[in-house]
Structure 1
Amino acid sequence: MNTLKNRNIWSGILFGLGLVAFIDETIFHQLLHWHHFYDKSTTNVGLISDGWFHAFSWFATIGGLFLFADIRRKNELSMKKWFVSILIGSGAFQLYDGIVQHKLMRIHQIRYVENVIVYDLIWNIIAILLLVVGLFLLFRSGNMKSEKVVY
């Protein structure tokens, strides 16, 4: 696989990771107030951690879009691989968040309720589905010639 094809994949992964992190931060942190990125301290520390998390999500998203613009400029953009890679990045981030941050590091939970296992299962099953579908489609498309999008 050449470097530009890899950049299609990495661009999508970074964009997907940033997109899902942004959605997580916006919906679960800001709108629903279910948790902060770091809940083992004061509310102020939690809000600061949310700001850093939000910045990280935008750095990943913008980094993915810079790679996207570069491969598009070089006429090597594969939209199929890019969209599939978004699924992979989204699922990978969500699974990492659900397992590492929620359960292993315990820096926050999805929601602080008595029966959190329901939320954990839904969160991680969606993550696994995104990741598996993305990987399946990527490996399925691995043998196809890169369809270039010319603008």
Structure 2
Amino acid sequence: MTKENKNLFTAGFILGLGILGAIDGVVFHQLLQWHHMIMSPNIHLEIYTDGLFTAAFSALMVWGAIKIFRDAKKGELGHNGDIFLSGILIGGGVFNLVEGIIDHHILQVHRVNPMAENPLLYDLAFLASGVVLILIGLWLKKLGQQAEQA
């Protein structure tokens, strides 16, 4: 892969981490009100930690955008859409896997849907979605690399 497309992939990966964090925050934390960063009877603490989470994924999206701008300004940014989208999908999948394994299973600070009859099912589906995103991203990356070599 060329340096330019590596830069594009890396920017996509960073953006993917932030975008999946945003989707997680909006859909699960705010709309469904299931997946707060910590489970606590203190709603103010739950909202505060969700706010810290929002700040973190927002910073990732800003970082990804700055990387794109800087690389483009130096003429070191690729233009392969498959490579870029693969970075986003792999970054998003890594977000789901890392967040799910650490927070749901190792630290057990929260569940995806703690009120469900079987919360583990939701946690496992969250992990599975991460694996699916990574697999699709790897497939797209391969397609992008093949197009680059053609």
**1:58-83: CA deviation from partner (whole Å, max 9, x where unpaired):** 11111111222233342633322111
The one-letter code sitting in structure 2 at the alignment partner of 1:72 is A
Of 58, 81, 86, the residue aligned with 2:83 is: 81
1:108 aligns to what?
Answer: 110
Shift of 1:6: 2.2
The one-letter code sitting in structure 1 at the alignment partner of 2:121 is V
**Is the CA contact 2:104–2:110 (under 8 Å) kept in the aligned structure 1?**
yes
Residue-pair matches, total: 147
Q: TM-score, normalised by structure 1?
A: 0.85
**Is the CA contact 1:78–1:146 (under 8 Å) kept in the aligned structure 2?**
no
**Is the CA contact 1:40–1:107 (under 8 Å) kept in the aligned structure 2?**
no
Q: TM-score, normalised by structure 2?
A: 0.86
**Alignment pair present for 1:64 and 2:67:** no
Shift of 1:2: 4.9
For residues 1-151 of structure 1, the aligned pairs below 5 Å read 1-40=1-40, 42-73=42-73, 74=75, 76-112=78-114, 113-145=116-148
Q: Which runs of 5+ in 2 are unaligned?
A: none
Q: 1:141 to 1:35 in 2, by over 3 A?
A: closer
Shift of 1:97: 1.5
CA RMSD of aligned residues (A): 2.1
Q: Which runs of 5+ in 1 are unaligned?
A: none
The one-letter code sitting in structure 2 at the alignment partner of 1:82 is F
Percent identity (aligned): 27
Shift of 1:19: 0.5
**Is the CA contact 1:95–1:127 (under 8 Å) kept in the aligned structure 2?**
yes
